[in-house]
Structure 1
Amino acid sequence: MRLRLPAWTATLTWKAALFITVMCCLLAAMLGALVHVAVTRQTVGNSRDKALTKLQDVTRLYEAGDRLPPGAGLDPPGLPDGLRELAAEGRRGTMVADLGGRPTMWAAGPVDGGRAIATEIDYTQGARTIDGLDRAIFGSSVLAIGATLLVGAFAVTRVTRRLHQTATVARRISAGDLDARVNDPRTKDPSRAQDEVAAVAGALDTMASSLQGKLESEQRFTADVAHELRTPLTGLHAAAELLPPGRPAELVRDRVQTMRVLTEDLLEISRLDARREQVDLDRHPLGPLAVRAVRALGTDTEVRVERDVCVETDRRRLERVLGNLVGNAHKHGRTPVVVTVDGPVLSVRDHGDGFPDYLVEHGPQRFRTEGGAHGHGLGLTIAAGQARVLGARLEFGNAADGGAVARLTLPYAPTEGAAG
């Protein structure tokens, strides 16, 4: 079974804190080991020199036949076996060993008869010095690691906070808020040195400004073209009405009407893209509203009200969304087309081939066609834009047994005594 770490362990702050902690521990361990070895070597060396000096003095006294001082003797009890063997081989040596519960520095050498003459020096103070040093190294290392970790975490958190802000702005721009900017103060003052985060923030702001300018230019172009087309189309429509009855006149009138509808749709899309639409909110029972909107279309559409509620919405915009969804179902799907009201959720289903994959995954795209088939035009794009103005969520999917399903979820706050 693969071990999965918590999501917070993937953050840059946690990784930086872990790296700083590991590096501080390694550095503290290395420095502590070097100091420990150096001090221990010096302390043991001083005690060894004292023990060997005392051993020389004791050896002279023994050779002169004088009485040996306290802490010296021939083969004294407690002498480490290693030193006995070393003296038996005719060599001198020192060793730290425990004697009566206290650390002792022993020095031993050979004398006549294969015996060992030895001296002892109390090593308690040296052992305490080394133990105290080890505790000081450990305590100072813990304090240094803690202080370094706090300072490092503070510094990294400042960087990650700026990165999070930049990422948030990028997501807002992706969602359509082209006015969003990071506005990092480092990018506003040329005299201040810029780090990598400021460079990314500045590049994002520049990209957003350029993108906003291009989109606004395209929106103005679309609106201007649609607006300029209205006048000649109005005249063309009036002229078409004067044509003598017949099939050619019907074709001309039909094409002129199609162009007028397309022009109005382009104007509506340009207003939606500008995000300047204002909603006229009022409370409406959703079931009767859906029935009236579908009946006004004059199509063979069934309306099922499973659970009716009162919603606060813009009736005209909601009827526009519902009309476009029903019209798309009849145009690109197959009957029966069913509109279902289930609380604040309106769904429109047909029994055709369903929505194409690109539309389900990415939403409606203007004039998009798939494999040479007839595209979905602007109806679903307008429906999605009006749903956004209403604060509703419009989702596109396909039923398991075939057919396209468009589901509109309206904002809904239940009130006491409300229907449903």
Structure 2
Amino acid sequence: MRRPARASLRWKIAALAAATACLVAAAVGVLVHLWTAHDIRSRAEARAFNTVYSAMDVYRRTGTLADGAELDPPDLPAALRDPADGNRHTAYDSRVEGNAGPTVWAAQRTGGPGSPVLAVQVNLGPELSDLPRLDLAMAVASLLALAVAVPLAAYGAGLLARRLRHVSETALLISAGDLDARTGQVGGRDEVTDIAATVDKMADSLSHRLRTERRFTADVAHELRTPVGGLLVAADLLPPGETEDLLRARVRDLRALVEDLLEISRLDAGSEQPVRARVPLGAVVAEALARTGLDTELDTAATSDTVETDPRRLERIVTNLVLNAHRHGAAPVRVTVTDRTVEVRDHGPGFPADLLRDGPRRFHTGTPARGTGHGLGLTIALAQADLLGADLRLTNAPTGGALATLHLPE
């Protein structure tokens, strides 16, 4: 069974890992950039503060300016032109002129109010120029980490996807009828292991129930053969008349039902094996129609080849399809044989929509308008076709009526 195309879980996880790595790298890069810029400014403020302290000490002892200090410089920020009570203050100046700037200023009044202001300027340009190189290094490191993280995430996700795919394939096998399929050991001790164990338990329970039901059906059908045979013999001893005919007809229906149940139980158990032979397809179909005793049109003009198949099972399939067409459809019923294909068509209301959608169900005959029966004919026909490796398709003809097409394999 082919699964529909979908995005692989492996690449979804790999893409999620890549997106997460990119987000983390971007967040770390921004934080490092901001922290580095803040650290450069803090260290510049501390250096300017200390320089003002030492330059003021020299100026008060010798009257000279040291360490690049200036008195009332014209570029001094307005916030530092009147440092209250002679306290040292710092300010950030974002102006850039040539290779100078941004800068950090530190200033202190040399004496009382109205005395000159001694100021020191620290240029942040050289240190801030290293920030782009730091950002580039962070970007390169992030790309290298991403190049390593994505393959590792894809590999790990591949292991997870492989285990999930194994569980999914086992579930598909079980749904297709393989009751012996099991997930086995999928490795790990995680949720996937729990899912695999649950699927195996479900398969065990389903297998047990189905085998019990099949065994029950086979046992019931087998036990009914003897009393039904006795009823048929007893009916033969009745005096001729309407009662005898009605009773014989009902006993024959009951016997046919028992034989159908036995056949289904053997097919379900897998104990049936085809006995193949080279036979003329048209002749086998004609013989099957003759056995039904029903008025059925036959067209074999388009075939003269022989086929290798089990003639008894092929007759069984054709017989069931023809009986179903007469019982649930309407005349005329026509059988056309072409090469390896047999088509059975009636002109009744056609197959019900639920049968076309879900396939035939046992003891389900669709709408009452399609006649009577126990609903096992199409089920047996499909099972026998599957045993022969043939393809049996049930459709409705475009102009009305049910159409069953049996295609035998090469």
Q: TM-score, normalised by structure 1?
A: 0.78
1:390: Cα distance to partner?
Answer: 1.7
Cα distance 1:395–1:44, how it changes in 2: closer, same or farther (>3 A)? Answer: same
Cα distance 1:70–1:117, how it changes in 2: closer, same or farther (>3 A)? Answer: closer
Matching residue's letter, 2:267:
L
Matching residue's letter, 1:127:
S
Cα distance 1:121–1:72, how it changes in 2: closer, same or farther (>3 A)? Answer: farther
Cα distance 1:310–1:87, how it changes in 2: closer, same or farther (>3 A)? Answer: farther
> Please, which of 195, 207, 217 is the counterpart of residue 202 of structure 2?
207
Q: Which residue in the other structure is 1:20 paired with?
A: 17
Deviates more, 1:385-394 or 1:108-117: 108-117
Q: Which residue in the other structure is 1:405 paired with?
A: 403
Matching residue's letter, 2:296:
T
> Please, which of 43, 47, 52 is the counterpart of residue 50 of structure 1?
47
Matching residue's letter, 1:304:
D
Determine if the alignment matches structure 1 residue 336 to structure 2 residue 332: yes
Matching residue's letter, 2:38:
R
Whole-angstrom CA distance in 2 between matches of 1:216 and 1:287:
38
| C-alpha contact 1:334 1:352 (8 A) present in aligned 2 | yes
Cα distance 1:328–1:48, how it changes in 2: closer, same or farther (>3 A)? Answer: same
Q: Which residue in the other structure is 1:250 paired with?
A: 245
Q: Which residue in the other structure is 1:272 paired with?
A: 267
Q: Deviations over 1:371-401 (max 9, x none)?
A: 5563452111110111111222322222233
Q: Which residue in the other structure is 1:416 paired with?
A: none
Determine if the alignment matches structure 1 residue 176 to structure 2 residue 177: yes
1:75: Cα distance to partner?
Answer: 6.6
Whole-angstrom CA distance in 2 between matches of 1:331 and 1:169:
40
Q: Deviations over 1:130-151 (max 9, x none)?
A: 3333233223333334444333
SS in 2 for 1:406: strand
SS in 1 for 2:6: helix
1:178: Cα distance to partner?
Answer: 0.8
1:177: Cα distance to partner?
Answer: 0.9
SS in 1 for 2:93: strand
Whole-angstrom CA distance in 2 between matches of 1:280 and 1:113:
122
Q: Which residue in the other structure is 1:198 paired with?
A: 193
Deviates more, 1:50-59 or 1:108-117: 108-117
1:277: Cα distance to partner?
Answer: 1.9
Whole-angstrom CA distance in 1 between matches of 2:77 and 2:206:
90
**Structure 1, unaligned runs of 5 or more:** 1-5, 187-192, 413-420
Q: Deviations over 1:131-178 (max 9, x none)?
A: 333233223333334444333333333233222222221221111111
Whole-angstrom CA distance in 1 between matches of 2:104 and 2:210:
90
Cα distance 1:110–1:409, how it changes in 2: closer, same or farther (>3 A)? Answer: farther
Q: Which residue in the other structure is 2:316 paired with?
A: 320
| C-alpha contact 1:75 1:118 (8 A) present in aligned 2 | no
Matching residue's letter, 1:388:
D
Q: Which residue in the other structure is 2:348 paired with?
A: 352
1:37: Cα distance to partner?
Answer: 1.8
Q: Which residue in the other structure is 1:166 paired with?
A: 167
Cα distance 1:96–1:337, how it changes in 2: closer, same or farther (>3 A)? Answer: same
Deviates more, 1:211-220 or 1:151-160: 151-160
1:273: Cα distance to partner?
Answer: 0.8
Cα distance 1:397–1:125, how it changes in 2: closer, same or farther (>3 A)? Answer: same
SS in 2 for 1:377: coil
Cα distance 1:94–1:365, how it changes in 2: closer, same or farther (>3 A)? Answer: closer
Whole-angstrom CA distance in 1 between matches of 2:404 and 2:322:
9
Q: Which residue in the other structure is 1:379 paired with?
A: 377
Q: Deviations over 1:47-68 (max 9, x none)?
A: 3443555567778889988588
Task: Number of aligned residue pairs: give it.
Answer: 394
Q: What are the residue-to-residue correspondences of 1:224-263 with 2, within 5 Å?
A: 224-263=219-258
Cα distance 1:67–1:37, how it changes in 2: closer, same or farther (>3 A)? Answer: closer
| C-alpha contact 2:99 2:125 (8 A) present in aligned 1 | no
Whole-angstrom CA distance in 2 between matches of 1:362 and 1:322:
22
Deviates more, 1:231-240 or 1:402-411: 231-240
Q: Which residue in the other structure is 2:212 paired with?
A: 217
Whole-angstrom CA distance in 2 between matches of 1:58 and 1:137:
39
| C-alpha contact 1:281 1:314 (8 A) present in aligned 2 | yes
| C-alpha contact 2:90 2:105 (8 A) present in aligned 1 | yes
1:324: Cα distance to partner?
Answer: 0.5
Whole-angstrom CA distance in 2 between matches of 1:136 and 1:327:
82
| C-alpha contact 1:71 1:121 (8 A) present in aligned 2 | no
> Please, which of 25, 30, 36 is the counterpart of residue 39 of structure 1?
36
Whole-angstrom CA distance in 2 between matches of 1:108 and 1:310:
109
Cα distance 1:27–1:122, how it changes in 2: closer, same or farther (>3 A)? Answer: closer
Whole-angstrom CA distance in 2 between matches of 1:398 and 1:159:
45
Determine if the alignment matches structure 1 residue 396 to structure 2 residue 401: no
Cα distance 1:213–1:108, how it changes in 2: closer, same or farther (>3 A)? Answer: closer
> Please, which of 358, 362, 385 is the counterpart of residue 362 of structure 1?
358
Identity %, equivalent residues:
41
Cα distance 1:222–1:319, how it changes in 2: closer, same or farther (>3 A)? Answer: same
Deviates more, 1:234-243 or 1:100-109: 100-109
Q: Which residue in the other structure is 1:131 paired with?
A: 132
1:96: Cα distance to partner?
Answer: 5.3
| C-alpha contact 1:293 1:319 (8 A) present in aligned 2 | yes
**Structure 2, unaligned runs of 5 or more:** 84-88
